[in-house]
Amino acid sequence: MTVDISIAVDSVVVEHQTSRGPVRALDGVSFTVDSGSSVAITGPSGGGKSTLLGVIGGLAQPTSGTVRIGDAQISELSDRDRSDFRRSHIGFVYQADNLLPFLTLLENVGLQLALNEKSSGTGRSLAALADLGLAGLAYRLPDHVSGGQRQRAAVARAIVHQPKIILADEPTGALDTVNAAGVIDLLLAMQREIGATLIMVTHDRDAARRLNRQIHLRDGRVS
């Protein structure tokens, strides 16, 4: 049976109150993403890309409009239910790897499974690291590996619980060209392997072209 992990963003507005009055970070954004496909969100800095990713991932609520993932209308869930949905069904990758410096790579990846109360954490975490070429570095601390290796560990942490959705916010922004291409290779390979839907915010035109389609965001609107 095929699981529906399509995404529908409908008329989403995010408004922030400032001393000069309300400012719209997102202004009526609408689009859909097919189940199991990949989409790059592109556009200039300050255009609302990271805000949009946060709303899709349930990290923030829209001022108005709705976000649906499969059958779940996550924009209407309570804070607790959104947190539970996010933890179980979404994997996040950021420009900063956000690895805990006092935990090994293996422990950082395993923490995702522990939060989801999954069994066989060590075996699954080792397998995820091995899939990303990090089996020999599993017991090293993040400060003892390279930036590219840290980001690969962050990808392993994002996909180890086999999420329905992978959300990546400038995942290659801090990497050189070679490491950036390698991380995109791995993200796409892992997305296909687990059958997830991938949305990636990026300024990297080469990376964006490798995804199924692109959505350009400027001044909070799809252009």
Higher pLDDT, residue 40 or 160? 40
Among residues 219, 150, 158, the alpha carbon closest in space to that of 182 is found at: 150
pLDDT for 120 equals 60
pLDDT for 189 equals 87
Mean predicted confidence (pLDDT) in 171-188? 83
pLDDT for 1 equals 42
* 21-25 own/partner pairs: CB under 8 Å, 24+ apart: 24/220, 25/51, 25/220
pLDDT at 101 over 90: yes
Arithmetic mean of pLDDT over the chain: 89
Give CA–CA dist 37/196, Å, rounded: 8
pLDDT tens track for 183-205: 888 889 888 888 899 999 998 88
pLDDT at 2 over 60: no
Indicate the pTM of the whole model.
Answer: 0.89
pLDDT tens track for 106-138: 999 998 888 766 656 788 889 889 888 888 999
pLDDT tens track for 46-89: 889 999 999 999 998 999 999 999 988 998 888 899 988 988 89
Give CA–CA dist 60/41, Å, rounded: 18
User: Can you identify the CATH homologous superfamily of domain 7-222?
Assistant: P-loop containing nucleotide triphosphate hydrolases (3.40.50.300)
Residues 6+ apart with CB under 8 A from 160: 109, 110, 112, 113, 124, 125, 128
Residues 6+ apart with CB under 8 A from 134: 105, 149, 152, 153, 156
pLDDT for 118 equals 63
Domain ranges of the chain: 7-222
Model confidence at 178, in pLDDT bands (50, 70, 90)?
Answer: confident
Q: Please list, residue by residue across 51-90, b when 16 or more beta carbons sit within 10 angstroms of its beta carbon and e when fewer do.
A: bbbbbbbbbbbbeebebbbbebebbebeeeebeebbeebb
